[in-house]
Amino acid sequence: MSLPTVRTVADLRAQVAAWRGQGLRVALVPTMGALHDGHLTLVRRGRALADKVVASVFVNPTQFGPSEDFARYPRDEGGDAAKLASAGCDLLFAPDVSVMYPDGFATSIDVGPVTRRWEGAFRPGHFNGVATVVTKLLLQGLPDVALFGEKDYQQLQTIRRLVRDLDIPVSIEGVPTVREADGLALSSRNAYLTAEQRAVAASLNRVLRDVVERVRAEPGTVADAVAAGERALLAAGFDAVDYLAVVDVASLEPLERLDGPARVVCTARLGKTRLLDNFPV
């Protein structure tokens, strides 16, 4: 199967406008490539919500810090295109960096408090990069709906805030995390793990499920449950826990006791690899 591919904003807009002229609804799935079944689930969900699905593949340099893995981030456009086609994607938008950030580009979007903690604290500038590139992709394609995984939960809540605040005319759809048989959340960065690290990685989702059960059973013991979870991750073989917290579902502010819709969020490290996961409480 071969997937139609466009590389310029004009070509993307022409195809979307042609579809729209036929009265069709369009979904966009923004990705950084290195696609796995989590991404393909977004595409399949897009097909359920719209008539045509566009996927973008763009490894966005502005959301990587200077010491992060931009250069070694896995890239395989041919493989990605084949996977997208098999999942029912209609069009691949794969712009060059020079298309997204031509000479003189200078604008940055800050989504405020929801971006400050957790990933935002460990990756300064990350969410400004995400917000800016997502705004561009949404305004380049003008889809009816755009789909993002719950795996990057703070990113999803940042994008919801961004779209609401700037009145971007699109509906944002969050899609539940897809997991391996042992519960490990699918992530392009899992490819960095050694066999030994991969065995340890499976404990992340189990520990978070334990934290959820504990705070559900005893809503006043969030601090104890979090401390126990951190100990369990280190005991299981993680090298560090960047954060583990029970947070408000929208603001991402940490909760001391469970008194409304909450989410447990965590990033733990295996060597240089940061593994993220989260669950609804």
Residues of 3-24 as b/e, b for ≥16 C-beta within 10 angstroms?
beebeebeebbebbeebbeeee
Judged by CB under 8 A, which of 3, 9, 59, 202 binds a second copy? Answer: 9
Instruction: Answer yes or no: is 152 a known binding residue.
Output: yes
In whole angstroms, the minimum distance from the beta carbon of 117 to a second copy comes to 13
Kindly indicate which of the ranges 38-46, 85-93, 158-166, 181-189 contains the residues binding a second copy, using the contact rule CB under 8 A. 158-166
Residue 211 is encoded by which pair of tokens? 């934290």
Residue 256 contacts residue 226 (beta carbons within 8 Å): no
Catalytic residue, candidates 39, 52, 263, 274 = 39
| Residue 223: count of CB within 10 angstroms of its CB | 13
Residue 55 lies near a second copy (rule: CB under 8 A): no
Q: Which CB sits closer to a second copy, 169 or 220? A: 169
Residue 8 lies near a second copy (rule: CB under 8 A): no
Residue 224 lies near a second copy (rule: CB under 8 A): no
The answer to whether residue 39 is catalytic is yes
Residue 199 is encoded by which pair of tokens? 């065995």
Instruction: Answer yes or no: is 33 a known binding residue.
Output: yes
Residue 166 lies near a second copy (rule: CB under 8 A): yes
Residue type, 190: N
Judged by CB under 8 A, which of 41, 62, 135, 187 binds a second copy? Answer: 135
- Which residue's structure tokens are 């997991």? 179
Residue 70 is encoded by which pair of tokens? 């931009």
Residues in the chain: 281
Judged by CB under 8 A, which of 71, 104, 124, 195 binds a second copy? Answer: 104
Instruction: Answer yes or no: is 229 a known binding residue.
Output: no
Residue 167 lies near a second copy (rule: CB under 8 A): yes
DSSP at 177: P
| Residue 267: count of CB within 10 angstroms of its CB | 20
Sheet holding 262-270, edge to edge: 240-248, 262-270, 273-280
Could you list the residues that contact a second copy (CB under 8 A)? Answer: 9, 13, 104-114, 131-132, 135-136, 139-140, 142, 161-162, 165-169
Task: Please enumerate, by residue number, every residue annotated as part of a binding site for (R)-pantoate.
Answer: 63, 155
Task: Please enumerate, by residue number, every residue annotated as part of a binding site for ATP.
Answer: 32-39, 149-152, 178, 186-189
